[in-house]
Structures are given as structure tokens and as C-alpha cells.
Amino acid sequence: MSKPILKINNFSLAYQNLGQSFPALKNISLEIASGEKVALVGPSGCGKSTLAKMLMGLIQQQIKTDGQILWNSEDLTKFSQRRWQEVRGKEIAMIFQDPLTSLTPHIQVGKTLTESLKVHNLLGNESRINKAVTLLEEVQIPKADQRAKQYPFEFSGGMRQRVMIGSAISCKPQLLIADEPSTALDVITQEHILSLLREVADHATEHAMILITHDLAIVDGLCDRVIVMEQGEIVEDRATKELIRDPQADTTKQLLAAVPSLNTPIFPKEMAKDAPSLLKVENINLIYQSSSGLFKKRTESTHAVKDVSFDVKKGEILGLVGQSGSGKSSLLRAILQLKPATSGHIFLDGKDIMGLTGEDLRQTRQTMQLVFQDPQASLNERMTIGDAIAEPLLNFKVCSKEEAKERSREMLKQVALDPNWYYRYPHQLSGGQRQRVCIAKALILKPQILLCDEPVSALDVHVQDEILKLLEELRETYGLTMIFITHDLTVVRRIADRIMIMKTGEIVETLGAKEFLEKATHPYSKQLIHAIPQIEVEINKDGN
Amino acid sequence: MLESHTPFQIFLKRFFSHRLALIGSFFLIAVGLGVVLIPEISPTDPSTTRPWLGMSPPGTQFPLCLSENQFKINEDPLTSPALKNAQSIVLELKGNEEQTEYRVVLRRGKIRTIQQGVTAYDEVSFKEGYSRLEAIDANGKVVTNLPPAIIKKGDKPPITWLQNKKQRVLIFRAYKEASNQQITIEMQGGICKSIQQNGNAIEQTSFDGKQIIDIKLDGKSGWRTFHFGSDQLGRDLFVRVFYGGRISVMVGLTATFVSLFIGLLYGTIAGYLGGKWDRLMMAFTDILYGLPFIFLVILLMVCFGRNLFMFFLALGAVQWLTMARIARGQVVVLRTREYLDAARMSGATTWNLIFKHLIPHTLGPVIVYTTLTVPVVIMEESFLAFLGLQIQYNNQMLDSWGALIKEGIDRLGNDGQQSWLLLFPASVMVITLVGLNALGDGLRDCLDPKEH
């Protein structure tokens, strides 16, 4: 093996805040040779992003470090600002998690792409423009010459991530760090980005890559070696195939177990065939209109939901699957009348609730509740979680303040949180705990139907697993009817009774969960199934 | 488990490590204590005049009495509260000059009659026992410092006493120097119980403030110092500055809260409604922005009088526009946030959303802007007072800092001899404004989430 380009010796790091020390990394030692592709895996909060930021010199907070990080036998912890500017982009480059926010909005994509070339004086003005086009072609963006002159808002999420990758490889860095490059994207886009990364990695054999992720499934086929981290420490560091076949550390086992797989057998719940339908949706259309211009009105309309009809039986869980932008969230909002539908009918328990306003509408919300995708954004950060859970009871004047408090504590216990956390604020909880709070808040009114808008996609795999288990339990206890939206087929297969596939505002296929994998006929459904990252360990075992 | 902090605890920690904010708070607390506790600190009130001590520089001593004081046994005396509250008062007074007036009628240059009141005299000697003599002729012209003489009926008066030869009537005034008096007054429950003058009990006494040579109240000194000097009427500037501070601070706080209330509500509602309503409501504030506001305030005050209430309304009405913009800007960012949909789903009514879920989130910038508005309002009030548009209450002028500063400039003197009249009110005001600005800056830093 060639000489290591990166060598970390007993490195520890602690954040300093308000006189307190929060250790983030403990005694990390590792080596990365040039050309090596390494995955850094672990649950959220294990310190993997901190390590990546440290390698890029991007930590803004006050920190205390111990040990060395040798970059080409230079100690990186002692770099000056100027030295960092030389290193960043040229020697070490990074791809960020969220492509939506990591491109400067007012700078043309072509310029962003070649910015590091300009900073490091590697190319002249003329050739930079050509280089930008070549880079865009390299990351497989069609009509590259036109695209280079466009601005980030004209690009979709997946394309922006391609631009980020292009920008990162523009200076041919010795080390490329990819921090959860596909987590914020939906399955199909994720698949495209991963294959691009794979191509980039194969192409540049002399360059090392660190891929940071919480999902072991995408590591397979991309990285030769996996480093598993847990609470700031390295717990396992082995070759990928070996690690998947024979995990040693508990964390690794948990991570592997949590990987959603299409191969796991599912146990669809027994449904009474003649169960009455609880929610019936007829010919829903939702058209967003945006108007601009002061005197002459120009209206642009987007047909987000096109003529959708379906019904949900009592006690059933309906899974709604589609890519981002397919109109599934819009449909949910139309049903809840957070964004009223343009036309159509919604029957709840036989009563048409379409077009209700004011107090009547408010009352229907006792029977329908929503769990949001991002628990962070859907909790009022200035309210204690207990108050947040009790809020619906007080808003509908269900019971007195004291009783609401009592019930809220009860609910905290139900979603497996400590009732003594009543006075905590959302920012003191982890993502999974926050989502439990959101679920508690939705369930406290004992609604007849619970709508879940991607409740697990913002969470990492094993938290996802816990939340799904919780939902399954709650379904048992409350006899809940649910509509469950996701872009992840493995999740929906596990929880739903029926699966509905949605594409560009239309429902393309509806099938029972059990028969979905075999009977799906629509090409889009097949594409979705194909895009799921899989650990091929079973097949390997057969081969052995 | 890591130790966790509520947002408020984090704020406190940061605040106490923010030097500028602490210095600002210290200034404000000092001025605030002065303004609140001034009646306790100083026994005099700002309208007490001591004309004989007008324009005294800082450090001048003054007795704690009024310019005219009257004591009668078993009656409520007419004097300052400090004297009324004392148990025993020991005074040393410069005696009053005793004045005797004589009317002399002349005929053919000779004295025909000498009269004092209704009593007629044949001969009066002014040789001894008088400190000074004055003569007044028929036109009211006064000649002072006459040489002493004896006048007799039928004689010619001394030639120096006459102003012209054809004079028919002369009025003489003879002044007798009185010795210093020692007055002891016993008081009980604000009622005068006994008065002794030089050891003799008397029924009543009255004296002027300027007569006082020494005063003792309950054995302690009855003298105080003009820390900031006095104005042309002999009012204590120290007391006036802090009483003026009450007006300024009250105007500042009240107008700010008026603007906070209107602006926060208006801005939040505009931002929450969005779309057409937002544009309409904000266009209205833009139009108001276009008006020259100081003229509007002057116009309002000319039309509706200069009472306190109008002042609050007028200044509040000027300040709420910016507050509305800030609140609206915050809400426009917040209104697309998912937690509002979540609140709607949990059955929150519109008012519920606005008060429970929107306004608390706008408070960071709003609190900061509030602390920065208070000095602006104080400045504006001072500016109006400077123009002569002071606040009135019950037809009394209320002297704010601005009014005091204006007075200080008016009475500065050609060479700035009375500089203390301007210096002290201006310094206290500057300290307050600097303190408020520092506190505002500090709060902005402490509440900024980016600093986390």
C-alpha cells in the first residue's frame, strides 16, 4: 500500500461553550492512503461531521484539541488561515450535505464551479469558462454550455449536488470529503448521485475519498474500507465486505440491522374486508397560482395535484410514495385544507368537509391530525415540549389546564419519553425525540385519522427504525387509520397495508403492500424499486 | 448527559459577560435610581424659589426655608416642609431694619410741621441711633445717604436734604439698625407650639429667607448645598434635573410602549395576512413615513393643546412605523414555517397563532429596537421642548431635560459664566442616552441566534 496522505494520531477534540467542555472526538487514530476510498459511518452525533470539518479547518466554534492530524506529514491543527486557503479546494475538497444552501445564490453556476481554480490561480479566465463546461459535462449535466450561465435557483436539488461535486473535483484534490452527499435527496436522485460519485471515484484512482454517511447500504460498492464511529470514538475499522459479512461492534450490528431492505419479509396486518371507508377523496385538483407584475397581471400556475381520487378504510394504513415534487405533500395539505384544493370533494366519515372555513374547519382538526416531516421546523422552539403537547387540548377546550398537563405527561410516557421532560425545550432533544413529541402532539386529541408527511426521512436509519416501531405500537393501541407519505419504499412496505405510487400529481399505481414487489407494472414503480440501495451480502453468501 | 440551558439562561450568561451592556445598565440604573428616589434624596422640591440665591454656582449653601416664612402659635406655619417636619428650629436672623417715616411741610423755606403718622413733633433728632436716612420729594425722587441732622419746627431744614428750593413737602425715612435675633421654635405634629425671640416668648414671627444667618433643625444643620448650582429664580438645579428626568423618562417609556403596542400588532397582522392586505397595510405606513413628522407633531400639539396625553400619542404615532416594519419582516420569514401549520392543525385560532406562536418569535429584534427607541423619543421630546413646546399638565409647565437645556442655553451669559445651567442637565441626558444605546447594542448581541 502507498504512503498515507492523512495520518491522525490520538486526536481528541472538545467544544468549549459557556465555560463548559463538550467532548466530540476521543483519541481518534487512523490513516488514509492516497487512492483509498473510506466510509465514515455512525449514528448522528457520533462526531463524524466534526472530524470532517476539522480536516477542512471549518470549525468556527471555540475548541480544544489534543493530538495531531498529519496532512502529508504537516500538522494540520497548526495551520494558519493562509495555509488553509491554499489547502482548501486544492488539496482537500468537500461536498456538503445540503445542496440547496451550499451554492451562493447570486453567482452563476459556472463561476461557482471554477472558483477554486481561480483562487488557486490554476487557470486563466478564458480557459476557466471552457473548464466549467467540461466539468458540467463530467458530472453529467445536459446542455452544459447553457447551464454554466444559469443561477442555482434554476437547478433542481440533484443537479445542484452534481454542481457541488464538479466544483469539488475541479482542482483534482488529493482528498475528497463527501458529507452525507445524498441524504437530503430522494431515492431516485440519490441513486444518480451515488453512481456519479462511484464514477468519479473510479476515474480518479490516485485520489482518496472519505464518504460520511449514516447509511451502510450506500457504502457497499463505493468504498473499500469502513470506519464505524460511536460517541466520538472509532469502534470498528475494516474492509467493507468483511465488515458487512461479520460485524463485530454493537453499533455496526445496529446500523446493519437498521438498513431497510426489500428482502425482509413483511407481515401485513389482517384487515376486515368490509371495513367502512373513513376518508374518501374524489377528483382533487390543486393548482398553485403565482401572479407577478404591478399593472399587467401575469399568472403562472402549477398543477400540483391532478384529479386524484382514493379512499381509506377504517384501521388501514395507506402508503403514498413518490419522488420529491410529485405532489404528495400538496395532496396531504389539500386534504387537511392547510392549502385548500382548487376543486374536488373530501368526505370524512361520510361528511363533505371540502370548503369548510373558520370554526367548522377548526373543528374537523380534532379528527384529522398531521405529523410533519421535519420535527425541528414543526415545533415552536419557544414552547416547552409538554406545553406543546397539551396545546391542542386547551385550544379545543377539551379539559382544564391541570388535566391537560397530566394528559400531556401521560402522552410523553406513551411515546417512550420521560414525563419529567415536560419543561424541556425542543432544542434540548435529538431529532428522533422531537419526532416523538410531534407524534404525541398529534395523538393527544385521539384523532380518527393520522396523516404522516415523511415522518422518518429527516432521521437517521436506526432512529427511523425506532419511530416506525412506535407508530406500529400506537396503531395497535389506538386502532389508528393512517396515510403515510414517504419516498422510501422500504419504509412504506414495512408499515402500510396498501401502497399508492404518485408521479407528477397523478396516481400511477395502487397495490397491496404484500404483492407490491412482484406485481408492480408501471415503469415508474419499477424505477423506484430499483433505486433502493441494497447490501448485497445475501448474494455474496450464496456465492460463497 | 450534557448540562442543558434554556434560551433564557443562555441569554443571562451572555449578558453578564457583555461589558458594553453592563456599563450601559450601570448608567441606566444610576440615573433610574436618581429619578425614582429624588424626593427621598432631596427635601426640597423643584419649584421652590429662593430669589436671593438666584444664579448661584454649584456648591453654594442654602437654608431649607422659603423666601417668606410665618409662624403663629397653635397654627399651621407657612414655611417649607423641612421646617414643618422638624421638632425644634433654632434660627439666627439678621434683624429687620426698622423704618420710621416723617412728613415735613415747608413754607417759605422753613419747617411748618413734622408728623409721623398722626403724631406731630416739634423737634426730631436724627443725629444718633440711625443707620441711614432717605428723603423723597413730591415726584418720588429718592435721595439716600443724607448726613445726620436735627430738625426743628420753624428752622430751615439742612440744605443737603432738599432737592430744590421751591419744595413744599419732604418725606424722610429713617432706618434703625436692628440687632441679630435668636429665634427658637418648638413644633409638634406640624403645628407651632411655642416661639421664643431672644429668650422671650412671643405669639408670632415672620422672617425672610435672606435674613437667615444660621439655621438648625433638631440640632442638625439646616443648610444644604446646590450640587448643580441654582437657576435665576434660585431653584435647585440638582432637584430640577432629576425631576425633569422623570418627565423625560416617562415620555420616553410611554411613547415607546405606545409605539411597541401599535407597531407590533400592526406589523404582525400585516405579515400574517400577507398578499394584498400586507401590501395595503405597508403602503399606508410608507405614506406616513413620507410625512415630515416633527411638523405633524407640532401641528397636533398646536391644535389639541400640549397636554401629557397628546404628547404620548403624538410621539408614539411617529415611532410605531419602524416597529411595524421590523415586526412584519420577522413574521414574513416565520409565516412559511412549518410549526405554524402544526399549530393550525392543533386547532389554534388566528389570535392564538398571532399571540402565542408569532409574537414571541419576533421579540428578540423588537426588544432591541425598543431600547433604541427610548433615547430617540427622549431626544425628540427634548427637541420639541427646545423649540418651546414643553409639556403642560394642569396648566403647569413640566420641565423635562430638553426644557432645562434650553433654559441653560438662554441663561448661559455672554461669557458662559453660568455654564452649570447647561452642563448638568446635558450631561445627565447624555449619560442616559449612551446607557440606553449601549444596552440596546448589548441586547442585540445577546439575543442574536447566530452567536450560539
DSSP states of B272-305 as a string? Answer: HH-HHHHHHHHHHHHHHHHS-HHHHHHHHHHHH-
B386 within 8 A of B378, measured Cβ to Cβ: no
3-state secondary structure B233-263: CCCEHHHHHHHHHHHHHHHHHHHHHHHHHHH
**CA angle, A527 as apex, A498 and A325 as ends, to 5°?**
75
Q: How confident is the model at residue A536 (pLDDT cuts 50, 70, 90)?
A: low
Pick the residue of B18, B346, B450 with the most A CBs within 10 A to test the interface with A by mutation: B346
3-state secondary structure A27-95: EEEEEEECCCEEEEECCCCCCHHHHHHHHHCCCCCCEEEEEEEEECCEEHHHCCHHHHHHHECCCEEEE
A395 within 8 A of B352, measured Cβ to Cβ: yes
Interface of A with B (CB under 8 A): 18, 20, 22, 333, 336, 338, 362, 365-366, 369-370, 372-374, 377-383, 391-392, 395-396, 424-425, 427-428, 438, 441-442, 445
What is the residue range of B82's domain?
43-95+180-226
- B352–A395 C-beta distance less than 8 A: yes
CA of A237 vs chain B CAs: smallest distance (Å): 27
- B6–A441 C-beta distance less than 8 A: no
Separation CA A147–CA A108 (nearest Å): 9
Whether B288 is covered by a domain: the verdict is yes
CATH code of the domain containing B361: 1.10.3720.10
- A378–B344 C-beta distance less than 8 A: no
Together in a domain, B412 and B361:
yes
pLDDT of residue B187: 84
Do β-strands A351-352 and A343-348 pair in parallel, antiparallel, or remain unpaired? antiparallel
Together in a domain, B126 and B172:
yes
Together in a domain, B421 and B333:
yes
Name the burial class of residue B394, with classes exposed (0-12), middle (13-18) and buried (19+) by CB atoms within 10 angstroms of its CB: exposed
B346 has a chain A CB within 8 A of its CB? yes
Together in a domain, B377 and B406:
yes
pLDDT of residue A515: 79
pLDDT of residue A538: 46
Among A492-496, B64-68, B92-96, B153-157, which stretch is predicted with the lowest mean pLDDT? B92-96
Together in a domain, B169 and B283:
no
Q: What is the DSSP letter of A295?
A: S
**What pTM value is reported for the model?**
0.69
Separation CA A433–CA A536 (nearest Å): 32
Together in a domain, B139 and B67:
no
- Burial readout A491-524 (b: 16 or more C-beta within 10 A, e: otherwise): bbbbbbbbbbbbbebebbbebebbebeeebeeeb
Asked if residue A298 has pLDDT above 70, the reply is: no
Whether B269 is covered by a domain: the verdict is yes
User: Hey, how many other C-beta atoms are within 10 angstroms of the C-beta on B263?
Assistant: 27
pLDDT in tens, A320-379: 888 877 888 888 888 888 888 888 888 888 888 887 777 888 888 888 888 888 888 888
Asked if residue A253 has pLDDT above 80, the reply is: yes
Per cent of chain A over pLDDT 90 is: 1
- A392–B339 C-beta distance less than 8 A: no
pLDDT of residue B174: 81
CA of B262 vs chain A CAs: smallest distance (Å): 23
Q: Domain ends where: B152, B177, B202?
A: B177
What's the half-sphere exposure (Cβ side, CA atoms, 13 Å) at A217? 19
Q: How confident is the model at residue A544 (pLDDT cuts 50, 70, 90)?
A: very low
Together in a domain, B131 and B150:
yes
Hey, what amino acid is at B362? Answer: T
Per cent of chain B over pLDDT 90 is: 10
Which residues in chain B touch residue A438, judged by CB atoms under 8 angstroms apart? 342
Among A172-186, A379-393, A431-445, B323-337, which stretch is predicted with the lowest mean pLDDT? A172-186
CB-nearest to A425 from B2, B6, B337 is B6
Q: How confident is the model at residue A295 (pLDDT cuts 50, 70, 90)?
A: low
Average pLDDT of A387-415? 89
CB-nearest to A365 from B13, B337, B347 is B347
pLDDT in tens, B94-109: 776 777 888 888 888 7
CB-nearest to A395 from B2, B347, B361 is B347
Together in a domain, B105 and B242:
no
Distance from the Cα of residue A416 to its chain's centroid? 23
CA of B341 vs chain A CAs: smallest distance (Å): 7
pLDDT of residue B119: 84
Whether B231 is covered by a domain: the verdict is no
B334 has a chain A CB within 8 A of its CB? no
Task: Indicate the Cα dihedral angle B123, B126, B130, B133, nearest 10°.
Answer: 110
CB-nearest to A362 from B10, B342, B349 is B349
Asked if residue B29 has pLDDT above 90, the reply is: yes
Average pLDDT of B326-347? 85
Whether B451 is covered by a domain: the verdict is no
Together in a domain, B161 and B63:
no
B5 has a chain A CB within 8 A of its CB? yes
In order of A38, A201, A237, A262, B321, the CA distances from A535 in angstroms are: 17, 19, 18, 10, 61
Whether B160 is covered by a domain: the verdict is yes
Query: Given strand B181-188, what is the order of strands in its sheet?
Result: B200-202, B191-197, B181-188, B88-93, B212-217, B220-221
Nearest to A113 by CA among A179, A178, A159, A164: A164
Among A36-40, A265-269, B222-226, which stretch is predicted with the lowest mean pLDDT? A265-269
- B338–A372 C-beta distance less than 8 A: yes
Say whether A180 sits in a helix, a strand or coil: coil
Contacts for A516 with CB less than 8 Å, ≥ 6 apart: A489, A493, A499, A525
Mean per-residue pLDDT of chain B: 82
Q: How confident is the model at residue A101 (pLDDT cuts 50, 70, 90)?
A: confident
In angstroms and rounded to an integer, the radius of gyration of the C-alpha atoms of chain B is 34
Q: Domain ends where: B195, B226, B257?
A: B226
DSSP states of A467-513 as a string? Answer: HHHHHHHHHHHHT-EEEEEES-HHHHHHH-SEEEEEETTEEEEEEET
Q: How confident is the model at residue A55 (pLDDT cuts 50, 70, 90)?
A: confident
CA of B55 vs chain A CAs: smallest distance (Å): 55
Q: A357 to chain B: nearest residue by CA?
A: B349
B3 has a chain A CB within 8 A of its CB? yes
Q: B4 to chain A: nearest residue by CA?
A: A428
Mean per-residue pLDDT of chain A: 82
Asked if residue A537 has pLDDT above 70, the reply is: no
CATH code of the domain containing B198: 2.30.30
pLDDT of residue A297: 61
Which residues in chain A touch residue B352, judged by CB atoms under 8 angstroms apart? 395
Separation CA B387–CA B365 (nearest Å): 33
Average pLDDT of B243-261? 87
Average pLDDT of B427-435? 91
- Hey, what's the cell of B298? 407640532
pLDDT in tens, A262-285: 666 665 565 556 677 888 888 888
- B4–A424 C-beta distance less than 8 A: yes
Q: How confident is the model at residue B435 (pLDDT cuts 50, 70, 90)?
A: very high
Whether B1 is covered by a domain: the verdict is no
Together in a domain, B165 and B280:
no
Q: How confident is the model at residue B267 (pLDDT cuts 50, 70, 90)?
A: very high
- B346–A365 C-beta distance less than 8 A: yes
- Residue bearing cell 373513513: A278
pLDDT in tens, A194-229: 888 888 877 777 788 898 887 787 887 788 889 998
Separation CA A160–CA A192 (nearest Å): 12
Q: What is the DSSP letter of B356?
A: I
Q: Domain ends where: B226, B247, B264?
A: B226
Asked if residue A495 has pLDDT above 50, the reply is: yes
Whether B2 is covered by a domain: the verdict is no
pLDDT of residue A153: 80
Together in a domain, B206 and B323:
no
ipTM (interface predicted TM): 0.70
Say whether A397 sits in a helix, a strand or coil: coil
pLDDT of residue A269: 60
- Burial readout B349-386 (b: 16 or more C-beta within 10 A, e: otherwise): eeebbbebbbbebbebbbbbbbbbbbbbbbbbbbebbb
Domain tally, chain B: 3
In order of A16, A48, A61, A143, A225, the CA distances from A11 in angstroms are: 16, 13, 17, 46, 20
Separation CA A47–CA A54 (nearest Å): 10
Whether B113 is covered by a domain: the verdict is yes
| A412 vs A357: which has the higher pLDDT | A412
Together in a domain, B147 and B209:
no
Asked if residue B396 has pLDDT above 80, the reply is: no
**Dihedral of alpha carbons A320, A321, A327, A328, sign:** positive
Separation CA B211–CA B197 (nearest Å): 15
